[in-house]
Amino acid sequence: MGKKIFTILFATMMVIAICSSCGNDDETKNDIRTGEEQVDQLIDQLILNIAQMCVDKKNGEFYLPVSSKDEAYRFCESLTGEKWDGKNRTVTLADAYGTVMLKAGSVEGLYGTVIFRDVRHLDDMTLHLADPEYIKNDNYGIDQFVNISVIGTCTNPKCKYVYTKNAAGVGYMPSGYKCDKCGSKLNVTTSWGGR
């Protein structure tokens, strides 16, 4: 009898010890984020930077001008919430929300490439982080690039689809400002302008 009470007491103390160590440990902070929270952060960062992005009309790949390797790394960390040292790495999002591949830059001026695969709320895309000079000169004509901006986002928290247009005003807005992925109302941004 006495021994059993001691065992229960000990087990309770262990549970308390384990719980308090979880709460204090910063290392486990990323691991307990849900896939939804991870994708939220990712889309927030993409929208923050989308006005600076260009898209190569030939292959549909995106370019974000950055001034240095460090800036490219910081951008990737702001996307995934995890440190990146510039080596090839695949970040698997929680709850089967997709993968984000980080690839080291292979040529001078190209600091890294981010490949989004099956990420919830997002079309698959390839985003190169490159020096502005590289984007202007290297193998591509500047006329192939068009700047893009957000014109609307779906208000349905389960969808969050983002609608964009390019600098020439070419974009796609579904009729009635209703998301054509889920039918919910769109939050239309001022850059659509209605012009």
Q: Which of 94, 115, 159, 188 binds Zn ion (CB under 5 A)?
A: 159
Q: Which of 63, 73, 134, 161 binds Zn ion (CB under 5 A)?
A: 161
Shortest reach from residue 84's CB to Zn ion, in Å: 30
Identify the CA nearest to 49 among candidates 125, 105, 143: 125
Residue 182 lies near Zn ion (rule: CB under 5 A): yes
The residue range among 51-59, 110-118, 121-129, 159-167 that interacts with Zn ion, by the rule CB under 5 A, is: 159-167
Comparing CB distances to Zn ion, the nearer of 110 and 179 is 179
Comparing CB distances to Zn ion, the nearer of 54 and 162 is 162
Strand partners, 101: 90, 115
Comparing CB distances to Zn ion, the nearer of 83 and 185 is 185
Shortest reach from residue 93's CB to Zn ion, in Å: 19
149/62 Cα distance (integer angstroms):
12
Helix, strand, coil percentages for the chain (3-state, nearest 5): 40, 25, 35
Comparing CB distances to Zn ion, the nearer of 78 and 156 is 156
178: DSSP letter: B
Helix runs in 25-117, H state only: 35-49, 69-80
51/43 Cα distance (integer angstroms):
14
Comparing CB distances to Zn ion, the nearer of 67 and 155 is 155
Residue 147 lies near Zn ion (rule: CB under 5 A): no
- What is the sign of the dihedral through the CA atoms of 80, 65, 48 and 149? negative
Helix runs in the chain, H state only: 2-24, 35-49, 69-80, 132-137
Residue 181 lies near Zn ion (rule: CB under 5 A): yes
Tokens for 114? 């981010």
Q: How many residues bind Zn ion (CB under 5 A)?
A: 8
Shortest reach from residue 160's CB to Zn ion, in Å: 7
Tokens for 6? 């001691």
Q: Which of 49, 147, 156, 189 binds Zn ion (CB under 5 A)?
A: 156
Chain residues in the site for Zn ion (CB under 5 A): 154, 156, 159, 161, 179, 181-182, 184
